[in-house]
Amino acid sequence: MLRPFAVALANRISSYGVDAICGPLTGGALLASMIADRLELEFLFAERRVSGRAGLFPVDYRIATALRNQATGRRVAIVDDAVSAGSAVRATYADLVALGGVPVVIGALLAMGPGAATFAAEKGIPLERLADLPTAIWAPAECPMCAVGTPLTDAGTA
């Protein structure tokens, strides 16, 4: 039985005329698979790969080798369980576009902070989410705690 939250997100995504649902394997792939099954659409997934880049988006996501041809010319919904900085969604979007796919909507159960909405607006595609939570993400050079030297953990309690 599909969970009510997955049904709700599937219902929202269904109105965009997508051909496939794609999710990051180390994130929302299970949710994406459930939604693809519910909508009787093809399921694609993107695999996480370390890029060696510094900054907030040091990881790439690439559509699995066996599925890469299936993205070409397809209208795709990118689905993740939760999006904060949006690295998985951004990298999946970029790989889909490079393959000739057409991302038409981003779906998430939870959007934390403005990252997902900002990215969706930049790309001119809608963001469907069931809930929003405020959060702040800073690059290390802009982080107020980093600026005053506050450690991430308390060495005395580890």
CATH code, domain with 92: 3.40.50.2020
3-state DSSP call for residue 104? strand
Number of structural domains, the chain? 1
Beta strands in the chain, from DSSP E residues, in sequence order: 20-24, 42-50, 59-63, 75-83, 102-112, 127-133
3-state DSSP call for residue 73? coil
Give the global pTM: 0.83
Find out whether 49 and 61 touch, Cβ atoms under 8 Å.
Answer: yes
Per-residue pLDDT of the chain (158 residues; tens, 9 = 90+): 678 999 999 999 999 999 999 999 888 899 999 999 999 999 999 998 877 766 666 678 999 999 999 999 999 999 999 998 788 999 999 999 999 999 999 999 999 999 899 999 999 999 999 999 987 666 667 777 777 888 766 655 54
> Which structural domain range is residue 97 located in?
4-157
Residue 101: both structure tokens together: 């796919």
Closest CA to 76 of 19, 124, 28: 19
